[in-house]
Structure 1
Amino acid sequence: MVAITTQDLLAASIASWCDGATGVSEVARLSGGASQETWSFDIAHPDGVIGAILRRAPQGYGAASGRACGLVTEAALIRRAHQAGVPVPVVLHVLTEADGLGIGFIMKRIEGETIPRKILRDAPFAAIRPQLARQLGGILAGIHGLPLGQLPELRRMTAAAEIDELARDIAGFNWPRPVFQLALRWLRDHDPGAGERLTLVHGDFRHGNLMIGPDGMRAVLDWELAHLGDPMEDLGWICVNSWRFGEIDHPVGGFGSREELFAGYEMAGGGTVDPARVKFWEVMGTLRWGVMCCGMMQRFRDGPDHSMERAMIGRRSSETEIDLLRLLSPRGRDAG
């Protein structure tokens, strides 16, 4: 019996929804993506080859769990963002049971770079780097401006709920984490409460999920952690030191300043930025990433995933502890 391959399934799928398509080629699974599978392939078409990306749940897994909104909802969000002018991929098709490919969607492939080292150091990006923080601010203003009534159903998150989740996760490690406990206490003491605005929050707006070219931002990827909440959360997350990749003096992704990010946000109609709220979410994001790193290491030790990638990410929890001590020092944000 001949096994049916992913290429076979993709060829059958595109024949049902892509008029004129004659087949697929160059099918390859891409590296990266801890929670979802990503495949690149080409669609043969009389008008020219269409580069495409399949994003789907790992085989054997069903609906999303935990914080993820689910791939069907993610596809709907990306379509809505595209309609509003936010730079995102074009969703071509949402998978159905008939496709035999699981849960997910197919989108047009966008050429660009997501690897931080290249974006921060390679010559083709030198001219655009000083402009990126302001561009990102404008894009976040667009995301936060999407009318809530036009969005699919999303979970609502508050700072208090997030703190409680992190506290449970930390307790579950069964290992002393005094710096994490210190950060939890600081977050509880400085919780600003509900803000004036409730908006769509991307939830993972940082390197790896930003497709960048020599001309600037090309697409915001991976919307699986999108939710409703405080818009300052996204501004704080992009400033977390872990996303600077050694360029500690450039808080926004290792290439820009908070002032440029905030200016781009306000100029694009995002409203007035509250720096104190942004710092709160920067501390929260730093702790969240540290907890996620610990979770990676726990899965590496206890199984079933013993990949070296898990272990490498897991060891970075110690870096977040240093970042938290810097953020919570008397000098505060100026220390990092």
Structure 2
Amino acid sequence: MAGSIEELLTRCVAAWYPGACSVVGPTRLSGGASQETWSFDIVHPNGNLGAILRRAPPGYGAAPTRAAGLSAEASLMQLAHAAGVPSPEVLYVLRPEDELGTGFVMRRVEGETIPRKILRDAQFAEARTKLAHQCGDILARIHALPLAGLPKLRCMTPQAEITQLEQEYRSFERPRPVFELALRWLRDHDPGECAEATLVHGDFRHGNLIIGPDGIRAVLDWELAHTGDPMEDLGWICVNSWRFGEIDRPVGGFGSRENLFAGYQAAGRRVEPARVHFWEVMGTLRWGIMCCGMMQRFRLGPDHSLERAMIGRRSSETEVDLLRLLAPRG
């Protein structure tokens, strides 16, 4: 055994944070089969520093096809932070001699990520009035990051995304008429490649935003970042599944598309509403197919967890959402 997570972190931190005495309270927050997130405090004579470790432990394989990888994620967060995008500061990128796997350590940002609290608690009431505009502004700044400085990322086009989604859907061998309708609509309304490909965050939504009473404090989870159509990010944050019951507020359950677009345009970038709608349909279908994948894994194993089944059943909700989105628009 290489040692406990506390021992490994203490040794690791001592190598790059001068004066650090120890590490205390490492607590695993979340993680799936290949990645973990740990919160801990670095003890220092000048005051403790709250930190987060995001890692794939030693022995785990490559990241899933869609994932950029933890090294690229760390690089993107460093670039975003340097450009003034609210992103946690990356303090250190793991090396093999740390025996902690691959990943990075970042400064902990205090705030809330649980949608129910953000959308309902009184302490976030003022923040809710400006969150949609802030989302637009932040996405504009993400999309303005120079492509030349980015790590190697996959490039996605509407046609490639449709092809990937259809392949995944067909693999389940469980036909769904509404998904068939959505796939046909997407093929018929494919807007083609965008005029200007940019960095796309890929998962800009509730759960990946740290929010305080003052608004958005940090954007998390850059693992699905890629290059492509910037309107994809604007469509994804409008998917009904991220509204958590507040269906009359299309942007995350807290704001309007108009405020989202206003924030984006105020930062100097142009919105194409028709392309945003296309990506909202695409995002809704994508989430529906992801839910089907969860149910498939629940049925076939090895993960028979109740959480898988609960997420899997939400595919029916996306069918209702798709029918609403594809209804004739007056």
Task: Tell me, yes or no, whether TM beats 0.5.
Answer: yes
User: Deviation digits for residues 12-53 of structure 1, max 9, x if unmatched?
Assistant: 111111111111001110136676211100000111101010
Letter in 1 for 2:118: I
Aligned to 1:278, which of 271, 276, 279? 276
Hey, what does 1:173 align to over in structure 2? 172
How far residue 305 of structure 1 moved from its aligned partner, in angstroms, is 1.9
How far residue 310 of structure 1 moved from its aligned partner, in angstroms, is 1.4
User: Deviation digits for residues 241-298 of structure 1, max 9, x if unmatched?
Assistant: 00000000000000000000000000011x2201000000000000000111111111
Hey, what does 1:245 align to over in structure 2? 244
How far residue 306 of structure 1 moved from its aligned partner, in angstroms, is 2.1
CA distance in 1, matches of 2:174, 2:212: 43
SS of corresponding position for 2:91: strand
CA distance in 2, matches of 1:251, 1:170: 26
- For structure 2, the 5+ residue unaligned runs are none
Hey, what does 2:307 align to over in structure 1? 309
Aligned residues, how many?
A: 330
SS of corresponding position for 1:255: coil
User: Deviation digits for residues 164-209 of structure 1, max 9, x if unmatched?
Assistant: 0000001100111111111000000000001111100000000000
SS of corresponding position for 1:30: strand
- The aligned runs of 1:20-31 (5 Å cut-off) are 20-31=19-30
How far residue 301 of structure 1 moved from its aligned partner, in angstroms, is 1.7
How far residue 65 of structure 1 moved from its aligned partner, in angstroms, is 2.3
TM-score scaled to structure 1, two decimals? 0.96
Letter in 2 for 1:278: V
Hey, what does 2:132 align to over in structure 1? 133
- Structure 1 residues 35 and 206: alpha-carbon distance in aligned structure 2, compared to 1, 3 A threshold: farther
CA distance in 2, matches of 1:179, 1:58: 40
Hey, what does 2:13 align to over in structure 1? 14
Percent of residue pairs bearing the same amino acid type: 72
Aligned partners of 1:96 and 1:103 also within 8 Å = yes
Aligned partners of 2:165 and 2:286 also within 8 Å = yes
- Structure 1 residues 59 and 98: alpha-carbon distance in aligned structure 2, compared to 1, 3 A threshold: closer
- Structure 1 residues 321 and 303: alpha-carbon distance in aligned structure 2, compared to 1, 3 A threshold: same
**Are 2:91 and 1:89 equivalent residues in the alignment?**
no
CA distance in 2, matches of 1:295, 1:181: 16
- Structure 1 residues 59 and 242: alpha-carbon distance in aligned structure 2, compared to 1, 3 A threshold: farther
CA distance in 1, matches of 2:87, 2:107: 10
Hey, what does 1:287 align to over in structure 2? 285
Aligned partners of 1:62 and 1:103 also within 8 Å = no
- Structure 1 residues 5 and 214: alpha-carbon distance in aligned structure 2, compared to 1, 3 A threshold: same
Hey, what does 1:37 align to over in structure 2? 36
CA distance in 1, matches of 2:304, 2:290: 16
Hey, what does 1:220 align to over in structure 2? 219
- Structure 1 residues 64 and 178: alpha-carbon distance in aligned structure 2, compared to 1, 3 A threshold: same
Letter in 2 for 1:321: E
- Structure 1 residues 34 and 210: alpha-carbon distance in aligned structure 2, compared to 1, 3 A threshold: farther
User: Deviation digits for residues 203-260 of structure 1, max 9, x if unmatched?
Assistant: 0000000000000010000000000000000000000000000000000000000000
Letter in 1 for 2:277: K
- Structure 1 residues 130 and 12: alpha-carbon distance in aligned structure 2, compared to 1, 3 A threshold: same
Aligned partners of 2:34 and 2:60 also within 8 Å = no
Letter in 2 for 1:162: E
- For structure 1, the 5+ residue unaligned runs are none
